[in-house]
Copies of this chain bind each other. A is one copy, B any other.
């Protein structure tokens, strides 16, 4: 059995917890939290909740610690810290900062003799794998990644910070016409605006439901730099009841394409398309983290140390099947 600890107990951590329950070679050993442990009640029976400090001695009996903090402030600090003490997996997803995060985690993991997988999940993660395989197979081609339709938590949070907003949910939606052109192998040059639209559903605070306030809120959303200004954005004001009823879930997904040409005269066109349609973003991400926790346990057992990404892991390390079973039934 692979003994797994989880740091944190938000949506992603609960996704990892439910994934562990589906993998017969894994057991959840403990959850570690920065909150009062007495305030956290798990779905898995009989598993203890400890204060995060308990990890600091490096003596917890864990094969792998799955880090479920956020990429903005938690993981840049947590992953190097815990990679010195345990084998770890994180879902660091700030693409621009991956090189420095990798370097910090690699140094800590090597120092501690541990294995650390960074930037795991579906993007970065499964989508990255698709980009790499497809680029290797079709060296002359173009890549496209589309996200959605799905809830962007970062964009939803950005709307919630606007004065007078009680709750908000933002859906990222790929533009159908762009998908069709890419799928046809056209290799179009697409601007940000041509690839995705943004749909926002907003509940106002009491006293902010006048036409004037709503117009102000809408304007603040659609002109918000980085988040919305470069997109065609629609804003719909709804009641709290409608929010609860229709927008409670965290669905997401997306598509990775590579279209390329082969032949001495580039006469043959090929389209590779990978798509995910996910009812629950955190549960799917948690399932990916669990599979890669298995890989880190095995890497560590082989005596490897340092930081890794999904590119460094042979697919067989993710599977509970034996090499013979894989060759006979999956190949």
Task: Decide: A313 and B314 in contact? CB cutoff 8 A.
Answer: yes
The contact string, 1 if C-beta is below 8 Å from chain B, for chain A 31-73, is: 0000000000001000000000000000000000000000000
Q: Is the CB of B291 within 8 A of A270?
A: no
Residues of B within 8 A of A102 (CB): 327
Q: Chain B interface: which of A2-10, A135-143, A158-166, A227-235?
A: A135-143
**Residue of B43, B136, B287, B330 touching A319 (CB-CB under 8 A):** B136
- The answer to whether B279 touches A269, judged by C-beta atoms less than 8 angstroms apart, is yes
Contact A133:B139 (CB < 8 A) given known A276-B270, A314-B311:
no
This protein's copies in its complex: 2
**Most chain B beta-carbon neighbours within 10 Å: one of A18, A270, A319:** A270
A155 to chain B, nearest CB (A): 21
Could you say which of B23, B137, B283, B326 contacts A291, with CB atoms under 8 Å apart? Answer: B137
271-310 of chain A: CB within 8 A of chain B: 271-280, 283-284, 286-288, 291, 294, 309-310
Chain B proximity of A169: nearest CB distance (Å) = 17
A197 at interface (Cβ–Cβ under 8 A)? Answer: no
* Residues A315 and B310 in contact, CB atoms below 8 Å apart: yes
Residue of B136, B286, B330 touching A318 (CB-CB under 8 A): B136
Residue A1 at the chain B interface, CB threshold 8 Å:
no
Flag whether A131 is at the interface (Cβ < 8 A): yes
> A133 and B126: CB pair below 8 A?
yes
Return chain B residues, CB-CB under 8 Å to A22: 139-140, 262
Chain B residue numbers with a CB within 8 Å of A246 are none
| With contact pairs A131-B330, A312-B314, A326-B311 given, residues A21 and B264 touching in the complex (Cβ less than 8 Å) | yes
Bound-complex Cα distance A275 to B135 (A)? 15
A99 interface hit (Cβ, 8 Å): yes
Q: Quick check: is A188 within 8 A (CB to CB) of the other chain? A: no
Q: Which of B136, B272, B283, B310 contacts A268 (CB 8 A)?
A: B283
Which B residues are in CB contact (< 8 Å) with A278? 268, 270-271
Whether the pair A262, B280 counts as a contact (CB closer than 8 A) is yes
Residues of B within 8 A of A99 (CB): 324, 327-328
Interface centre among A23, A99, A320, A331 (most CB of B within 10 A): A331
Instruction: For the complex formed, measure the closest distance between the CB of A163 and the CB atoms of chain B, giving whole angstroms.
Output: 34
Within the assembled complex, what's the spacing in Å between the Cα atoms of A133 and B126?
9
Q: Please tell me if A263 contacts chain B, counting CB pairs below 8 Å.
A: yes
Interface membership of chain A positions 189-203, coded 1 if the CB is closer than 8 angstroms to chain B and 0 otherwise: 000000000000000
Residue contacts A-B, CB under 8 angstroms, 12 given = A18-B262, A99-B328, A136-B291, A136-B319, A137-B287, A137-B318, A270-B277, A270-B280, A273-B275, A311-B319, A311-B323, A313-B314
Beyond A270-B280, A271-B275, A309-B331, 18 additional pairs, beta carbon < 8 A: A18-B263, A43-B264, A102-B327, A126-B133, A132-B319, A132-B330, A135-B330, A136-B315, A136-B318, A136-B319, A137-B288, A262-B286, A268-B283, A273-B274, A273-B277, A309-B326, A310-B315, A314-B314
